[in-house]
Amino acid sequence: MAEHQHAHVEHPDMYDPESSKIGMWLFIFTELLLFGGLFIVYSVYRYLNPDAFHLAAEELNTFIGAFNTVILLVSSMTIAMSTTALQKGHKKVAIALVVITFIIGIGFLVNKYFEWGVKFSHGIWPGSEQMLNEMSQGEILFFGLYFVMTGLHALHIIVGLIIMGFAIKGVANGKVNAKRPSLLDNCGLYWHLVDLIWIFLFPLFYLIH
């Protein structure tokens, strides 16, 4: 009996606790509150500075924003398909789909890196001399919100990629499977949150002029 108890302690089910999904939903709720507050701040400042926000938005590359939106939507599909594949016992397919999602996430970050790089090359970053000397207060507010909100979103992408790495490892070694899918399920939920946030960020910064 003692040996059985010891074995249970040594090999706890870290990959499929029942409370994990509840914890993930609570985390998603707090993240929605965070970004919801930022969206409200953005809306207020845009209402107060419509012309400046319109002028500043012209500096953004709508094509890159649209491309990132499309690939994130595709990644939502692939991560959902990976969960379905795991439920059907198709381990290799599930891993392949998560890897595809991971690669898409990397692609998003690469695009964002080059997009930010263009802004930096033009002297546009928070606190830059060009922004302070040549832009109106409204334009400074726009780019401040742009860097904060898209930067925070990029950080969430990075966290999502880390979670995917653990999910891939878990599926590969069999600790995440059809009977214990919570890690992959939570990874999918988190990634859908990341996509949802971007779906709001894209029109706010790139489309509404």
Helix-, strand-, coil-residue percentages of the chain, each rounded to 5:
80, 0, 20
Assigned domain for 1 exists: no
Give residue 48's domain range: 21-207
Assigned domain for 38 exists: yes
Q: 170 in helix, strand or coil?
A: helix
* Res 23: pLDDT: 84
Q: 120 in helix, strand or coil?
A: helix
Assigned domain for 3 exists: no
* Res 10: pLDDT: 38
User: pLDDT in tens for each of the 209 residues of the chain?
Assistant: 444 444 444 344 444 455 777 888 899 999 999 999 999 999 999 999 999 999 999 999 999 999 999 999 999 999 999 999 999 999 999 999 999 999 999 999 999 999 999 999 988 988 888 777 888 999 999 999 999 999 999 999 999 999 999 999 999 999 999 988 999 999 999 999 999 999 999 999 999 86
- Residue found by looking up tokens 């939920």 in the block: 189
* Res 83: pLDDT: 95
CATH number of domain containing 75: 1.20.120.80
Assigned domain for 7 exists: no
- Written as six digits, the tokens of 208 are 């509404």
Number of structural domains found in the chain: 1
Q: How many residues does the chain have?
A: 209
Assigned domain for 132 exists: yes
Assigned domain for 48 exists: yes
* Res 17: pLDDT: 58
Assigned domain for 184 exists: yes
Q: Are 85 and 66 in contact (CB under 8 A)?
A: no
Assigned domain for 2 exists: no
